[in-house]
Amino acid sequence: MNVDQLRERLNFYRDLGIDEVFLRENVGQAILSPVVPSLITEGVAVASALPSLAPEGDTLLKIRQDIGDDCRRCRLCEGRAKIVFGSGNEQSGLVFVGEGPGADEDAQGLPFVGRAGQLLTQMIENTATKEGIPIRRPDVYICNVVKCRPPENRTPQPDEMEICGQFLFRQLMAIRPKAICAMGSTAAKALLGTKEGVTRLRGKWHKWRDLPVMVTYHPSYLLRPYNQDAKREAWEDLKKVLHFVYD
């Protein structure tokens, strides 16, 4: 791992909320060092300013080009049909972040186009209509933590989230929305670095960097017939987000 990669890795952990890491100075000896100012040079921790995770003048087009057409950075590439980068209004004040592509998304290369995506569209547009907010799904931006479909729709592994997380964070920094809606525990964990579940996190405002984050249930969870209370709670969460961004 070179110095630039190490800086990027440490910056990623800082954004997850990790404030300290153990750096090995000599064999058998570990030193505790804060993430923000430290690098390892020849096995010794030294002070250094970390660069921004998002390059200056970054754009969604540049991020997509950096990912490439055949990304091989993690094992998710092995069963992937298409990379699912994101879709919607690139100047949107609201970004929805989900977990990862499913079968329909993998086939089409677009996020949230299957059953969960159809429910998300209904949630956005029906809630906006009822609240008198003139927006539709194309007016917001939607993306995922990981850009390739995990096998059998399993939860992304930590290393997969770490690798793809750098591109998600660049997306968010390039768009600079007024608010982010994190859908499900994987998105909440990636953005907030928390181990708490959605039930505890939802309904309250959190922060990613300086951007407000609202956590709510993933639409796929709401498709289960026994989650009627969760549907009502998700509707309340969405109302808060929409009024915050568009009022």
Domain ranges for the chain, please list them.
3-47, 60-246
Largest pairwise CA distance in the chain: 64
Res 1: pLDDT: 55
3-state secondary structure of 55: coil
Higher pLDDT, 52 or 72: 72
- Give residue 12's pLDDT: 62
Fold of 60-246: Uracil-DNA Glycosylase, subunit E (3.40.470)
Does residue 244 have a pLDDT over 90? Answer: yes
pLDDT of 182 = 98
Q: Please say if the pLDDT value at position 26 is more than 90.
A: no
Residue 37: pLDDT band by 50, 70, 90 thresholds? very low
pLDDT at 36 over 70: no
The confidence score (pLDDT) of residue 56 equals 83
- Confirm whether pTM is higher than 0.95: no
Tell me what pLDDT residue 27 has: 33
The answer to whether the CB of 82 falls within 8 A of the CB of 102 is no
Q: pLDDT digit string (tens) for 106-119?
A: 999 999 999 999 99
**Pair of tokens at residue 101:** 């592509």
Name the region of 66 (left: φ>0; alpha: ψ -120 to 50; beta: rest): alpha
Q: Per-residue pLDDT tens for 161-207? A: 999 999 999 999 999 999 999 999 999 999 999 999 999 999 999 99
The candidate with the shortest Cα–Cα distance to 25, out of 11, 6, 39, 8, is: 39
Q: Percent of the chain having pLDDT more than 70?
A: 78
- The helix or strand, by DSSP H or E, that contains position 8, with its residue range, turns out to be helix 3-15
pLDDT-derived band at 105 (thresholds 50, 70, 90) equals very high
Task: Give me the residue label for tokens 């568009």.
Answer: 246
Q: What is the pairing mode between strands 87-88 and 94-98?
A: unpaired
Q: What is the pLDDT of residue 55?
A: 79
Lowest mean pLDDT among 16-25, 32-41, 60-69, 236-245: 32-41
* pLDDT, position 51: 43
